[in-house]
Amino acid sequence: MAEWDPEIQVPDELARALIGGQFPELREAPIRLLAAGWDNVVYLVDDRWVFRFPRRAIAVAGVEREIATLPRIAPHLPLPIPVPRFAGSPSGDYPWPWFGAPFLRGIELAAAAIPDDERGPLAATLGAFLAALHAPGMVARIGAGLPVDPMRRADMGFRVPGTRARIDGLAAKRLWQPSDGVSRLLADAERLPPPPRTVLLHGDLHVRHVLVDGNGGPTGVIDWGDLCVGDPSIDLSLAYGSFAGDARRSFLDAYGPVDGLTELRARVIAVFLAAALLAYADDVRLAGLRAEALQALDRAVA
Phi and psi angles of residue 281, each rounded to the nearest 5 degrees, phi first: -60, -40
Nearest C-alpha neighbor of 67 from the set 56, 54, 48? 54
Whether residue 2 is contained in a domain is answered as no
* Tens of pLDDT, residues 153-176: 999 999 999 999 999 999 999 999
Is 70 exceeded by the pLDDT of residue 83? yes
Domain boundary among 39, 67, 102: 102
Query: CATH number, domain at 130?
Result: 3.90.1200.10
DSSP class of 148 = B
Compute CA distances 174 → 52, 110, 269, 273, whole Å: 34, 22, 21, 18
Q: Are both 98 and 112 inside the same structural domain?
A: no
Task: Count up the domains in the chain and report the number.
Answer: 2
In this structure, is residue 7 part of a structural domain?
no
* Among 43, 69, 102, residue at a domain's last position: 102
167 and 244 both lie in a single domain: yes
Last residue of a domain, one of 102, 132, 154: 102
Burial call 93-110: b when 16+ CB within 10 Å, e when fewer: ebebbbbbbebbebebbb
Same domain, 85 and 224: no
Residue 87 lies in a domain: yes
Reference 39, options 17, 6, 64; nearest CA is 6
pLDDT of residue 1: 61
161 and 204, same domain (yes or no): yes
Domain identity same for 279 and 171: yes
**Is the alpha carbon torsion for 223, 23, 69, 153 positive or negative?**
negative
Q: First and final CA of the chain: distance in angstroms?
A: 34
Could you tell me if residue 49 is inside a domain?
A: yes
Residues 62, 137 within the same domain: no
Alpha carbon distance 237, 136 (integer Å): 19
Pair 217, 287 in one domain: yes
Domain annotation covers residue 5: no
Q: Can you give the residue range of the structural domain that contains 280?
A: 107-301
Per-residue pLDDT at 185 = 96
Q: Does 3 have pLDDT greater than 80?
A: no
CA distance linking residue 280 with residue 272, whole number of Å: 12
Same domain, 69 and 136: no
- How much is the pLDDT for 125? 98
Q: Does any domain span residue 158?
A: yes
Q: Is residue 279 part of a domain?
A: yes
What is the reported pTM?
0.95
Do 132 and 218 have their domain in common? Answer: yes
Residues 288 and 187 in one domain: yes
Question: In this structure, what CATH number is given to the domain that contains residue 17?
Answer: 3.30.200.20
| Average pLDDT value for residue range 8-16 | 95
Q: Which residues of 171-206 are buried (b: 16+ CB within 10 A; e: fewer)?
A: eeeebbebeeebeebbeebeebeebeebbbbbbbbb
Nearby residues of 41 by Cβ (< 8 Å), 6 or more positions away: 6, 10, 15, 33, 35, 52, 53, 55
Taking only the tens place, the pLDDT of each residue in 124-151 is 999 999 999 999 999 999 999 999 999 9
Q: Which residues contact 157 (CB under 8 A, 6 or more apart)?
A: 190, 194
> 292 and 197 in one domain?
yes
Same domain for 286 and 160: yes
